[in-house]
Amino acid sequence: MITVTPLNSWAVLSTSILINWEGAAILVDIGPGTVTKLVEKGLSTSSLQGILVSHSHIDHFWDLVPLLWLRHLRNQRKRLKIICPRSDVPLMEWCTKVSQTDHPVEICGLEAGGETRLGKLVVKSFSANHETSKQPLGFTITEEPKKKLATEELTRLGVPKEAWRKLLRGKVPPNLPGELSDYVYQRQRRVVYAGDSRPTKELLGNAEKADLLIVESTYADDRARGDALRSDHMTVGEALDLALSAKVKNALLTHFSMRYSVKAFQESVKEFVRRHPEAPKVFMGEKVFTV
């Protein structure tokens, strides 16, 4: 199970999402107020395995210092890996230094197209179309492929449980119709984080058929596309158009401009889904959900 905990949705205040991927805890960006939210919600910082920093705007990295400081005070010594654009490595090193932590921190700088691992998860980076001097990145997080059984179909056919294990080993019981691929499939879940970005072909390609796309949607009103173009951000309509075109299963909207009310974003999402009933399931706000 992948549990997703949005810690803040507002652009100026913070951008941060906590993902718990079957025991591997990852923070996706770590803007101001992230540590306060973690403490308020009773979420542990000791199990953190990695932090993905998309770029060096303050609302995406500023709480790295208090997080490292808190882990230092609590004597949380589990190795923490910080993944960021290669150009931001000196900044991440500065954060580590001023936090006064003496605990193991690994800083991994990536160029677009780079790859690294967080335990059993593979993290790949791609270019985001935001302020180019910041060399912003998006990330895909993918698990190792796992064999899964079509349990509903096997139950419907009355296949005994002892035969299920044989199927996983590649053996089809004699009287079972069809082929192995009818009952055993590969599952490889993928989460994509866009950071701050305009919609691009590269983002679309990386998001294709993702289990979850975390995507910025700064402007609630599509009439603000001019502002979105000038600031290298997206409107709700652009973000959901992207999610729909990529055929993602779920979309989490983040990075809301404070010029709008929460209701304005909710109404924009409702209207888009009304016009596009085939749209993915859409999440927003700080509601915890699973994918």
Q: Report pLDDT for 14.
A: 67
- State pLDDT tens for residues 29-82: 999 999 999 999 999 898 899 999 999 999 999 999 999 999 999 999 889 999
Rounded to whole angstroms, how far apart are CA atoms 211 and 191? 6
For domain 2-144+188-290, the CATH class is alpha beta
In terms of Cβ atoms closer than 10 Å to its own Cβ (0-12, 13-18, 19+), residue 175 is: exposed
pLDDT at 95: 97
Give the distance, in angstroms, between the CA of residue 149 and the centroid of all CA atoms in the same chain.
26
200-226 per-residue burial string, b: 16 or more CB within 10 A, e: under 16: bebbeebbeebbbbbbbbbbbbeebee
Question: For residue 174, what pLDDT band results from cuts at 50, 70 and 90?
Answer: confident
Given this model, what pLDDT does residue 13 score? 62
Higher pLDDT, 132 or 246: 246
Lowest mean pLDDT among 84-88, 125-129, 161-165: 161-165
Mean pLDDT (whole number) for 89-95: 97
Nearest to 76 by CA among 84, 85, 67: 67
Q: Are 237 and 272 in contact (CB under 8 A)?
A: yes
Q: Residue 50's CB: how many other CB atoms inside 10 A?
A: 24
CA distances, 50 to each of 6, 84, 86, 199, 224 (Å): 16, 11, 16, 26, 35
Which residues of the chain are in CATH 3.60.15.10 domains? 2-144+188-290
Please provide the distance, in angstroms rounded to a whole number, between the alpha carbons at the two ends of the chain: 7
Summarize the chain as % helix, strand, coil (round to 5). Answer: 35, 30, 40
**8 A C-beta contact, residue 169 and residue 163:** no
Query: How far apart are alpha carbons 9 and 13 in whole angstroms?
Result: 8
The CA distance from 30 to 14, in Å, is 7
Closest-CA residue to 220 (of 188, 192, 262, 181): 262
Residue 171 has pLDDT above 70, yes or no: yes
Q: Where are the beta strands (DSSP E) in 22-102?
A: 24-28, 48-52, 80-85
- Please name which of 188, 207, 142 lies closest in space to residue 216, comparing C-alpha atoms: 207
Q: Are 217 and 239 in contact (CB under 8 A)?
A: yes
The tokens for 247 are: 């055929």
For the chain, what is the total number of helices (H) and then of strands (E)? Answer: 10, 16
User: Alpha carbon 260 to chain centroid distance?
Assistant: 24
Q: What is the pLDDT of residue 146?
A: 85
How far is Cα 151 from Cα 163, in angstroms, rounded to an integer? 12
3-state secondary structure at position 237 = helix
At residue 91, φ and ψ (nearest 5 deg) are -65, -45
Handedness of CA 53, 55, 59, 65 (dihedral sign): positive
Nearest-angstrom CA–CA distance, 12 and 266: 19
- DSSP letter at 288 equals -
pLDDT at 165: 82
